[in-house]
Protein backbone atom coordinates (compact mmCIF):
# COMPACT_ATOMS: atom_id res chain seq x y z
CA UNK A 1 0.00 0.00 0.00
CA UNK A 2 1.08 3.57 -0.66
CA UNK A 3 1.95 5.81 2.25
CA UNK A 4 -0.49 8.50 3.37
CA UNK A 5 1.77 11.23 1.99
CA UNK A 6 2.02 9.49 -1.38
CA UNK A 7 -1.78 9.34 -1.59
CA UNK A 8 -2.07 13.05 -0.79
CA UNK A 9 0.56 14.03 -3.36
CA UNK A 10 -1.23 12.04 -6.07
CA UNK A 11 -4.52 13.59 -5.00
CA UNK A 12 -3.14 17.13 -5.41
CA UNK A 13 -2.25 16.46 -9.05
CA UNK A 14 -5.80 15.57 -10.09
CA UNK A 15 -8.34 17.84 -11.73
CA UNK A 16 -11.78 17.13 -10.36
CA UNK A 17 -15.30 18.48 -10.27
CA UNK A 18 -16.71 16.26 -7.54
CA UNK A 19 -17.38 19.11 -5.09
CA UNK A 20 -21.14 19.66 -4.64
CA UNK A 21 -21.92 17.04 -7.32
CA UNK A 22 -24.03 13.93 -6.78
CA UNK A 23 -22.44 10.53 -7.37
CA UNK A 24 -25.00 8.60 -9.43
CA UNK A 25 -23.10 6.79 -12.22
CA UNK A 26 -19.39 6.01 -12.55
CA UNK A 27 -19.46 6.70 -16.29
CA UNK A 28 -20.63 10.24 -15.61
CA UNK A 29 -17.33 10.86 -13.81
CA UNK A 30 -13.96 11.65 -15.40
CA UNK A 31 -11.01 9.33 -14.91
CA UNK A 32 -9.46 11.86 -12.52
CA UNK A 33 -12.67 11.94 -10.48
CA UNK A 34 -12.70 8.16 -10.21
CA UNK A 35 -9.03 8.20 -9.21
CA UNK A 36 -9.77 10.86 -6.61
CA UNK A 37 -12.51 8.71 -5.08
CA UNK A 38 -10.11 5.77 -4.80
CA UNK A 39 -7.31 7.88 -3.31
CA UNK A 40 -9.57 9.54 -0.74
CA UNK A 41 -10.95 6.13 0.24
CA UNK A 42 -7.39 4.83 0.70
CA UNK A 43 -6.44 7.88 2.77
CA UNK A 44 -9.47 7.47 5.01
CA UNK A 45 -8.55 3.83 5.53
CA UNK A 46 -5.03 4.91 6.50
CA UNK A 47 -6.46 7.27 9.12
CA UNK A 48 -8.71 4.59 10.55
CA UNK A 49 -5.91 2.00 10.59
CA UNK A 50 -3.71 4.47 12.48
CA UNK A 51 -6.47 5.27 15.00
CA UNK A 52 -6.75 8.88 13.76
CA UNK A 53 -10.20 10.45 13.84
CA UNK A 54 -11.66 11.37 10.45
CA UNK A 55 -14.56 13.36 11.87
CA UNK A 56 -15.00 16.43 9.70
CA UNK A 57 -18.57 17.10 10.85
CA UNK A 58 -19.44 18.25 14.36
CA UNK A 59 -23.12 17.64 13.64
CA UNK A 60 -25.42 16.95 10.73
CA UNK A 61 -27.67 14.26 9.30
CA UNK A 62 -27.16 11.63 6.66
CA UNK A 63 -30.45 10.26 5.36
CA UNK A 64 -30.57 6.56 4.53
CA UNK A 65 -33.33 5.85 2.00
CA UNK A 66 -33.38 2.13 1.17
CA UNK A 67 -36.32 1.21 -1.03
CA UNK A 68 -35.04 -2.38 -1.24
CA UNK A 69 -33.45 -4.80 1.22
CA UNK A 70 -29.74 -4.54 2.00
CA UNK A 71 -27.11 -5.68 4.47
CA UNK A 72 -23.61 -4.71 3.23
CA UNK A 73 -24.53 -1.41 1.60
CA UNK A 74 -26.85 -0.33 4.43
CA UNK A 75 -24.21 -0.88 7.09
CA UNK A 76 -21.44 0.48 4.88
CA UNK A 77 -23.37 3.73 4.46
CA UNK A 78 -23.94 4.00 8.21
CA UNK A 79 -20.27 3.22 8.89
CA UNK A 80 -19.09 5.80 6.35
CA UNK A 81 -21.30 8.54 7.80
CA UNK A 82 -20.24 7.73 11.36
CA UNK A 83 -16.58 7.75 10.31
CA UNK A 84 -16.99 11.36 9.17
CA UNK A 85 -19.12 12.44 12.14
CA UNK A 86 -22.62 12.41 10.65
CA UNK A 87 -25.63 10.84 12.34
CA UNK A 88 -27.72 8.50 10.19
CA UNK A 89 -31.51 8.71 10.08
CA UNK A 90 -33.44 6.10 8.12
CA UNK A 91 -36.26 7.28 5.90
CA UNK A 92 -38.80 4.48 6.29
CA UNK A 93 -41.41 5.30 3.69
CA UNK A 94 -44.03 3.15 5.47
CA UNK A 95 -43.71 5.44 8.53
CA UNK A 96 -43.73 8.70 6.58
CA UNK A 97 -46.40 10.80 4.88
CA UNK A 98 -45.34 9.38 1.52
CA UNK A 99 -47.99 6.71 1.98
CA UNK A 100 -50.54 9.56 2.26
CA UNK A 101 -49.58 11.12 -1.03
CA UNK A 102 -46.70 13.40 -0.08
CA UNK A 103 -44.76 14.24 -3.25
CA UNK A 104 -41.09 13.49 -3.87
CA UNK A 105 -40.48 17.26 -4.13
CA UNK A 106 -41.96 17.86 -0.70
CA UNK A 107 -40.36 14.86 1.03
CA UNK A 108 -36.90 15.72 -0.31
CA UNK A 109 -37.10 19.20 1.21
CA UNK A 110 -38.71 18.17 4.51
CA UNK A 111 -35.90 15.69 5.31
CA UNK A 112 -33.11 18.07 4.30
CA UNK A 113 -33.17 21.13 6.56
CA UNK A 114 -29.99 20.09 8.44
CA UNK A 115 -28.96 17.25 6.16
CA UNK A 116 -25.55 16.94 4.48
CA UNK A 117 -25.95 13.76 2.44
CA UNK A 118 -28.70 11.44 1.22
CA UNK A 119 -27.98 7.83 0.29
CA UNK A 120 -30.59 6.19 -1.92
CA UNK A 121 -31.05 2.58 -2.95
CA UNK A 122 -33.79 2.07 -5.55
CA UNK A 123 -33.22 -0.92 -7.84
CA UNK A 124 -36.64 -2.58 -7.99
CA UNK A 125 -38.11 -0.84 -11.02
CA UNK A 126 -36.26 -0.80 -14.34
CA UNK A 127 -36.24 2.73 -15.69
CA UNK A 128 -37.28 4.19 -12.35
CA UNK A 129 -34.46 4.06 -9.77
CA UNK A 130 -31.96 6.41 -11.36
CA UNK A 131 -34.81 8.65 -12.47
CA UNK A 132 -36.05 8.86 -8.87
CA UNK A 133 -32.59 9.92 -7.66
CA UNK A 134 -32.50 12.69 -10.24
CA UNK A 135 -36.00 13.80 -9.20
CA UNK A 136 -34.83 14.06 -5.59
CA UNK A 137 -31.82 16.06 -6.80
CA UNK A 138 -34.02 18.47 -8.74
CA UNK A 139 -36.21 18.98 -5.66
CA UNK A 140 -33.16 19.75 -3.53
CA UNK A 141 -31.90 22.23 -6.14
CA UNK A 142 -35.29 23.95 -6.03
CA UNK A 143 -35.33 24.10 -2.22
CA UNK A 144 -31.81 25.51 -2.03
CA UNK A 145 -32.41 28.03 -4.80
CA UNK A 146 -35.47 29.42 -3.01
CA UNK A 147 -33.81 29.63 0.40
CA UNK A 148 -35.78 26.76 1.94
CA UNK A 149 -32.59 24.78 2.54
CA UNK A 150 -29.43 26.37 4.00
CA UNK A 151 -27.36 24.00 1.88
CA UNK A 152 -27.98 21.50 -0.87
CA UNK A 153 -27.42 17.93 0.42
CA UNK A 154 -25.43 15.63 -1.84
CA UNK A 155 -26.81 12.33 -3.13
CA UNK A 156 -24.95 9.03 -3.26
CA UNK A 157 -26.35 6.21 -5.38
CA UNK A 158 -26.37 3.14 -3.15
CA UNK A 159 -27.72 1.06 -6.07
CA UNK A 160 -30.21 1.82 -8.77
CA UNK A 161 -31.61 0.03 -11.80
CA UNK A 162 -28.65 1.08 -13.95
CA UNK A 163 -25.51 1.15 -11.79
CA UNK A 164 -24.18 0.18 -8.36
CA UNK A 165 -21.26 2.64 -8.10
CA UNK A 166 -20.38 2.05 -4.45
CA UNK A 167 -20.07 -1.67 -5.18
CA UNK A 168 -18.08 -1.39 -8.41
CA UNK A 169 -15.75 1.23 -6.91
CA UNK A 170 -15.17 -1.00 -3.87
CA UNK A 171 -14.46 -3.86 -6.29
CA UNK A 172 -12.00 -1.68 -8.17
CA UNK A 173 -10.25 -0.61 -4.96
CA UNK A 174 -9.95 -4.29 -4.00
CA UNK A 175 -8.28 -5.00 -7.34
CA UNK A 176 -5.97 -1.99 -6.95
CA UNK A 177 -4.72 -3.33 -3.64
CA UNK A 178 -4.65 -6.96 -4.78
CA UNK A 179 -2.52 -6.19 -7.84
CA UNK A 180 -0.48 -3.37 -6.31
CA UNK A 181 -1.78 -0.35 -8.21
CA UNK A 182 -4.36 0.91 -10.68
CA UNK A 183 -1.75 0.91 -13.46
CA UNK A 184 -1.28 -2.85 -12.97
CA UNK A 185 -4.87 -3.57 -14.00
CA UNK A 186 -4.24 -2.63 -17.64
CA UNK A 187 -4.39 -5.80 -19.74
CA UNK A 188 -5.84 -7.92 -16.95
CA UNK A 189 -8.80 -10.02 -18.06
CA UNK A 190 -11.97 -9.99 -15.99
CA UNK A 191 -14.87 -12.34 -16.76
CA UNK A 192 -18.19 -10.83 -15.70
CA UNK A 193 -20.47 -13.82 -16.16
CA UNK A 194 -24.04 -14.77 -15.44
CA UNK A 195 -24.37 -17.70 -13.04
CA UNK A 196 -27.26 -19.94 -12.10
CA UNK A 197 -29.43 -19.01 -9.13
CA UNK A 198 -32.57 -20.65 -7.72
CA UNK A 199 -34.14 -17.19 -7.50
CA UNK A 200 -35.18 -14.60 -10.05
CA UNK A 201 -35.42 -10.85 -10.35
CA UNK A 202 -31.87 -9.99 -9.33
CA UNK A 203 -30.96 -6.49 -10.57
CA UNK A 204 -28.79 -5.74 -13.60
CA UNK A 205 -26.83 -3.02 -11.83
CA UNK A 206 -23.88 -5.11 -10.58
CA UNK A 207 -22.83 -6.55 -13.96
CA UNK A 208 -23.55 -3.20 -15.61
CA UNK A 209 -21.51 -1.45 -12.95
CA UNK A 210 -18.57 -3.78 -13.53
CA UNK A 211 -18.50 -3.49 -17.33
CA UNK A 212 -19.15 0.25 -17.06
CA UNK A 213 -16.16 0.81 -14.75
CA UNK A 214 -13.49 -1.77 -15.55
CA UNK A 215 -13.50 -0.83 -19.24
CA UNK A 216 -12.30 2.65 -18.18
CA UNK A 217 -8.88 1.36 -17.12
CA UNK A 218 -7.61 -0.74 -20.01
CA UNK A 219 -8.85 -4.08 -18.74
CA UNK A 220 -9.98 -6.92 -21.00
CA UNK A 221 -13.62 -7.43 -20.05
CA UNK A 222 -15.65 -10.45 -21.11
CA UNK A 223 -19.39 -10.27 -20.47
CA UNK A 224 -20.87 -13.77 -20.62
CA UNK A 225 -24.47 -14.92 -20.33
CA UNK A 226 -26.82 -17.55 -21.80
CA UNK A 227 -28.90 -16.56 -24.81
CA UNK A 228 -31.54 -14.07 -23.74
CA UNK A 229 -29.95 -12.85 -20.49
CA UNK A 230 -29.04 -9.46 -21.90
CA UNK A 231 -28.34 -6.25 -19.99
CA UNK A 232 -29.51 -2.72 -20.85
CA UNK A 233 -28.29 -2.33 -24.47
CA UNK A 234 -27.04 1.24 -24.05
CA UNK A 235 -24.78 0.24 -21.15
CA UNK A 236 -23.28 -2.65 -23.10
CA UNK A 237 -22.66 -0.37 -26.09
CA UNK A 238 -21.04 2.23 -23.84
CA UNK A 239 -18.71 -0.40 -22.31
CA UNK A 240 -17.40 -1.27 -25.76
CA UNK A 241 -16.69 2.38 -26.56
CA UNK A 242 -14.91 2.91 -23.24
CA UNK A 243 -12.69 -0.12 -23.78
CA UNK A 244 -11.64 1.23 -27.18
CA UNK A 245 -10.70 4.57 -25.63
CA UNK A 246 -8.77 3.08 -22.70
CA UNK A 247 -6.84 0.56 -24.80
CA UNK A 248 -8.67 -2.38 -23.27
CA UNK A 249 -10.98 -4.96 -24.80
CA UNK A 250 -14.65 -5.77 -24.44
CA UNK A 251 -16.67 -8.61 -25.88
CA UNK A 252 -19.91 -10.45 -25.24
CA UNK A 253 -19.91 -14.24 -25.32
CA UNK A 254 -22.53 -16.89 -24.62
CA UNK A 255 -20.18 -19.35 -22.96
CA UNK A 256 -19.00 -19.29 -19.35
CA UNK A 257 -16.06 -21.51 -20.29
CA UNK A 258 -15.00 -19.10 -23.03
CA UNK A 259 -15.10 -16.15 -20.64
CA UNK A 260 -13.11 -18.04 -17.99
CA UNK A 261 -10.30 -18.98 -20.40
CA UNK A 262 -7.10 -17.21 -19.29
CA UNK A 263 -9.06 -14.84 -17.05
CA UNK A 264 -7.18 -13.13 -14.24
CA UNK A 265 -10.43 -12.36 -12.40
CA UNK A 266 -13.85 -14.02 -12.47
CA UNK A 267 -17.10 -12.48 -11.26
CA UNK A 268 -19.91 -15.06 -11.61
CA UNK A 269 -23.19 -13.40 -10.60
CA UNK A 270 -26.82 -14.07 -11.40
CA UNK A 271 -29.14 -11.45 -12.85
CA UNK A 272 -32.53 -11.37 -14.51
CA UNK A 273 -32.75 -10.76 -18.28
CA UNK A 274 -33.37 -7.19 -19.37
CA UNK A 275 -36.71 -8.17 -20.96
CA UNK A 276 -37.81 -9.93 -17.76
CA UNK A 277 -36.98 -6.87 -15.65
CA UNK A 278 -39.11 -4.76 -18.01
CA UNK A 279 -42.06 -7.14 -17.58
CA UNK A 280 -41.49 -7.34 -13.82
CA UNK A 281 -41.50 -3.56 -13.53
CA UNK A 282 -44.85 -3.32 -15.32
CA UNK A 283 -46.35 -5.98 -13.04
CA UNK A 284 -44.99 -4.33 -9.89
CA UNK A 285 -46.46 -0.99 -10.92
CA UNK A 286 -49.85 -2.66 -11.37
CA UNK A 287 -49.49 -4.62 -8.10
CA UNK A 288 -50.32 -7.70 -10.17
CA UNK A 289 -49.49 -10.43 -7.66
CA UNK A 290 -50.75 -13.28 -9.84
CA UNK A 291 -48.79 -11.97 -12.80
CA UNK A 292 -45.63 -11.75 -10.67
CA UNK A 293 -46.11 -15.34 -9.47
CA UNK A 294 -46.52 -16.54 -13.04
CA UNK A 295 -43.45 -14.61 -14.20
CA UNK A 296 -41.39 -16.00 -11.33
CA UNK A 297 -42.27 -19.59 -12.20
CA UNK A 298 -41.51 -18.96 -15.88
CA UNK A 299 -38.13 -17.43 -15.04
CA UNK A 300 -37.13 -20.08 -12.53
CA UNK A 301 -37.87 -22.75 -15.13
CA UNK A 302 -35.74 -20.90 -17.66
CA UNK A 303 -32.90 -20.45 -15.13
CA UNK A 304 -32.95 -24.20 -14.49
CA UNK A 305 -31.92 -24.80 -18.11
CA UNK A 306 -28.53 -23.29 -17.28
CA UNK A 307 -27.50 -24.99 -14.03
CA UNK A 308 -24.14 -25.72 -15.63
CA UNK A 309 -23.40 -21.97 -15.41
CA UNK A 310 -21.71 -22.48 -12.06
CA UNK A 311 -18.24 -21.41 -10.93
CA UNK A 312 -16.78 -24.87 -10.30
CA UNK A 313 -13.26 -26.17 -9.69
CA UNK A 314 -13.22 -27.39 -13.31
CA UNK A 315 -14.07 -23.95 -14.66
CA UNK A 316 -11.49 -22.30 -12.41
CA UNK A 317 -8.85 -24.52 -14.03
CA UNK A 318 -9.59 -22.70 -17.32
CA UNK A 319 -8.39 -19.39 -15.83
CA UNK A 320 -4.85 -18.04 -16.02
CA UNK A 321 -2.68 -20.58 -14.21
CA UNK A 322 -5.88 -21.96 -12.72
CA UNK A 323 -5.62 -19.25 -10.08
CA UNK A 324 -7.93 -16.41 -11.10
CA UNK A 325 -9.21 -14.15 -8.34
CA UNK A 326 -12.86 -14.93 -7.56
CA UNK A 327 -15.06 -11.90 -6.81
CA UNK A 328 -18.66 -11.44 -5.73
CA UNK A 329 -20.78 -8.61 -4.33
CA UNK A 330 -22.29 -11.04 -1.77
CA UNK A 331 -24.33 -12.83 -0.69
CA UNK A 332 -23.39 -15.55 -3.16
CA UNK A 333 -25.63 -18.52 -3.88
CA UNK A 334 -23.24 -21.28 -2.73
CA UNK A 335 -24.03 -24.79 -3.90
CA UNK A 336 -24.79 -27.21 -1.04
CA UNK A 337 -24.46 -24.37 1.49
CA UNK A 338 -27.02 -21.61 0.92
CA UNK A 339 -28.86 -23.59 -1.75
CA UNK A 340 -28.77 -26.99 -3.43
CA UNK A 341 -27.38 -25.62 -6.70
CA UNK A 342 -26.12 -22.09 -7.18
CA UNK A 343 -23.62 -19.61 -8.57
CA UNK A 344 -20.46 -21.09 -7.07
CA UNK A 345 -19.20 -24.42 -5.75
CA UNK A 346 -18.66 -24.48 -1.99
CA UNK A 347 -14.96 -25.37 -2.33
CA UNK A 348 -14.30 -22.43 -4.66
CA UNK A 349 -16.14 -19.96 -2.46
CA UNK A 350 -14.43 -21.14 0.70
CA UNK A 351 -11.00 -20.73 -0.89
CA UNK A 352 -11.78 -17.09 -1.71
CA UNK A 353 -14.14 -16.33 1.18
CA UNK A 354 -11.73 -14.05 3.05
CA UNK A 355 -10.88 -12.17 -0.16
CA UNK A 356 -14.59 -11.51 -0.80
CA UNK A 357 -14.91 -10.21 2.75
CA UNK A 358 -11.95 -7.89 2.14
CA UNK A 359 -13.58 -6.81 -1.13
CA UNK A 360 -16.74 -5.86 0.77
CA UNK A 361 -14.66 -4.11 3.43
CA UNK A 362 -13.65 -1.34 1.03
CA UNK A 363 -17.23 -0.14 0.57
CA UNK A 364 -17.49 2.02 3.74
CA UNK A 365 -14.34 3.90 2.70
CA UNK A 366 -15.57 4.36 -0.87
CA UNK A 367 -18.88 5.78 0.36
CA UNK A 368 -17.09 8.03 2.86
CA UNK A 369 -14.86 9.25 0.02
CA UNK A 370 -17.91 10.09 -2.11
CA UNK A 371 -19.36 12.08 0.80
CA UNK A 372 -16.11 13.90 1.56
CA UNK A 373 -15.59 14.82 -2.10
CA UNK A 374 -19.14 16.14 -2.30
CA UNK A 375 -18.86 18.34 0.77
CA UNK A 376 -15.30 19.69 0.50
CA UNK A 377 -13.63 21.40 -2.43
CA UNK A 378 -10.09 20.52 -1.35
CA UNK A 379 -10.08 17.02 0.08
CA UNK A 380 -6.28 16.78 0.04
CA UNK A 381 -6.09 19.76 2.41
CA UNK A 382 -8.83 18.32 4.64
CA UNK A 383 -7.15 14.92 4.88
CA UNK A 384 -3.75 16.49 5.56
CA UNK A 385 -5.29 18.51 8.36
CA UNK A 386 -6.79 15.41 9.96
CA UNK A 387 -3.48 13.57 9.70
CA UNK A 388 -1.46 16.41 11.22
CA UNK A 389 -3.99 16.94 14.02
CA UNK A 390 -3.64 13.27 14.83
CA UNK A 391 -6.68 13.23 17.11
CA UNK A 392 -7.09 9.71 18.45
CA UNK A 393 -10.30 7.96 17.54
CA UNK A 394 -10.00 5.68 20.57
CA UNK A 395 -8.40 7.43 23.56
What per-residue confidence (pLDDT) applies to 285? 87
In DSSP notation, 169-190 reads: HHHHHHHHHHHTSGGGGTT-EE
Identical topology for domains 4-163+362-389 and 167-360: yes
Q: What is the pTM of this model?
A: 0.96
Rank 91-100, 125-134, 211-220 by mean pLDDT and report only the highest. Answer: 211-220
Among residues 58, 48, 71, which one has the least CA distance to residue 1?
A: 48
The answer to whether the beta carbons of residues 62 and 115 sit under 8 Å apart is yes
State the chain's mean pLDDT as an integer: 96
Question: Rounded CA gap, 69 and 11, in Å?
Answer: 35
- pLDDT, tens only, 31-70: 999 999 999 999 999 999 999 999 999 999 999 999 888 8
The correct answer on CATH 3.40.50.1370 for the domain covering 167-360 is yes
Read off the pLDDT of each residue in 202-230 and give the average, rounded to a whole number.
97
What per-residue confidence (pLDDT) applies to 368? 98
Calculate the CA 341 to chain-centre distance.
Answer: 26
Helix (H, G, I), strand (E, B) or coil at 87: strand
Percent of residues, the chain, with pLDDT higher than 70: 98
Read off the pLDDT of each residue in 188-209 and give the average, rounded to a whole number.
96
**Alpha helical stretches, state H, 247-391:** 256-260, 274-285, 289-303, 313-316, 346-361, 363-375, 379-389
Q: Where are the domains of the chain?
A: 4-163+362-389, 167-360
What per-residue confidence (pLDDT) applies to 100? 61
What per-residue confidence (pLDDT) applies to 95? 67
Read off the pLDDT of each residue in 20-39 and give the average, rounded to a whole number.
98
Could you tell me which CATH number the domain at 4-163+362-389 has?
3.40.50.1370
Amino acid sequence: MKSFNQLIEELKKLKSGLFAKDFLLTWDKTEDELRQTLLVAEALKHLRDQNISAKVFDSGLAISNFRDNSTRTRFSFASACNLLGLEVQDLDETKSQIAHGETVRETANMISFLTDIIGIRDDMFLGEGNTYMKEVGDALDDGFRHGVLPQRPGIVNLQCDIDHPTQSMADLLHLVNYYGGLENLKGKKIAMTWAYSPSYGKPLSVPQGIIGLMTRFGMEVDLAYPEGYTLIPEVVEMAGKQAAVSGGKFRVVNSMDEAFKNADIVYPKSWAPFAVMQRRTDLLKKSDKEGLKSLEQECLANNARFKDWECTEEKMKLTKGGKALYMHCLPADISDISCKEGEVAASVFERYRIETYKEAGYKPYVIAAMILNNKFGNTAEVLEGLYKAGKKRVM
